[in-house]
Amino acid sequence: MKKKVFNIILVILTIGMIYEIYSYFNMEQDNKVLEDIKTVDVFDNKDKTLSIMVQNPTTFEYQSDTSRTTWPSKTEYLYAGTKCTDASGKDVGDTTPYINFDENTYTATITTKKTIYCTLYFANGRPALEVLKAKGGNYYAGGGQHTTAVDGLYRFKGTVGQVDNNYICLGASENPDVCKNDPENMYRIIGVTTDGKLKVIKAKKYGANQQWFSSTSDSRTWKDSLIFVSLNGTFYNSLDARIKGLIDNYTWKMERTTSTPGTATGNQDGTIQAHIGLMYGSDYVNVGSQGTTNWLFIQNGYSGNTAEDEWTMSRYGYYGYDYVAWYVATGGALNRYRVDGAFAVRPVFFLLSTVGLIGEGTTAHPYTVTGIK
């Protein structure tokens, strides 16, 4: 009996050792360096393990394109991402070990010997920076001089009559005609950073008027303000999940200046990383002359807006007996007021540089964002 039990244990141990040896060599094969693996172009891919999906310009749904013999070009579509599954149909998650897409040449290659099925998605639209550069005119600070950026941001500059093609709709749908049905989805593009991030401001004011802070005797920077808490809490959480995923967790300068804000952001209270802010006083100065014809003046933001006092995120500091901050008054000029004043606020944020734009930028055909899978 003891000998029989011993033999059974010996068999089990032998099987275990064989499995461990097999697993070791199999793992070595799986981890083989990419230099030893032949790359395969999608159009020379006899196993049809790569496929292309392009976005329908009417329905905005992605659909298979089997007729292509060449890659979509940058002038046609915006590369939106890749998804891969293994032989069993399981999503592999990170596609880096299996396929490489070169966004400069717009070509892709398989970089593994494993059986892998990958789909590359191409969206309507073009990178935001390219779209806005093509506009010319009053785009970029300096009235169309395309080499001028102030504080790393190219802005739309001009009067309300000159700047009317920077509307962007940010809602659940990529379809501009659907998105624009809700005015709360409408924003204006202030400008774009040198690395392609769009800075946008809500076209209509958000909610009820708000105080910068409740006490005028405390020195509170922007990150300590009531507005900062409200915008990065209640407002941010109210946004559609698709849009929240496109907002950059940006490093904001906390502007502080005792002189009327100028073209460059003034003396700093430091920086804060956050999703939502307000326009700087220097944003308002950069885009045009102070007054009711400045396109950033709240009355000019969207149809139905009225002239009212509006906070910026720039503070003045101590003045007389109170702490004060900069706001745009009903006459369109920058002024300072006690931080306990209740004024209008319009949220501002930066969209990731990976978004593309479709549409025309007008109120009838606003831009929407695309290109993210």
User: Average pLDDT by consecutive 10-residue portion of the chain (373 residues)?
Assistant: 56 54 42 35 55 76 73 75 85 84 78 81 75 62 52 84 89 83 93 88 96 88 94 96 92 91 84 96 90 95 93 91 94 95 97 84 86 50
- Return the domain boundaries, the chain: 34-124, 127-370
Pick from 339, 287, 289, 336: which is nearest to 148 by CA? 287
- Rounded Cα gap, residues 350 and 157, in angstroms: 18
C-beta atoms surrounding 133 within 10 Å:
14
Cβ atoms 99, 79 nearer than 8 A: no
- For 43, what's the count of Cα atoms within 13 Å in the CB-facing half-sphere? 9
Q: pTM for the whole thing?
A: 0.74
Q: Which pLDDT value is given to residue 371?
A: 58
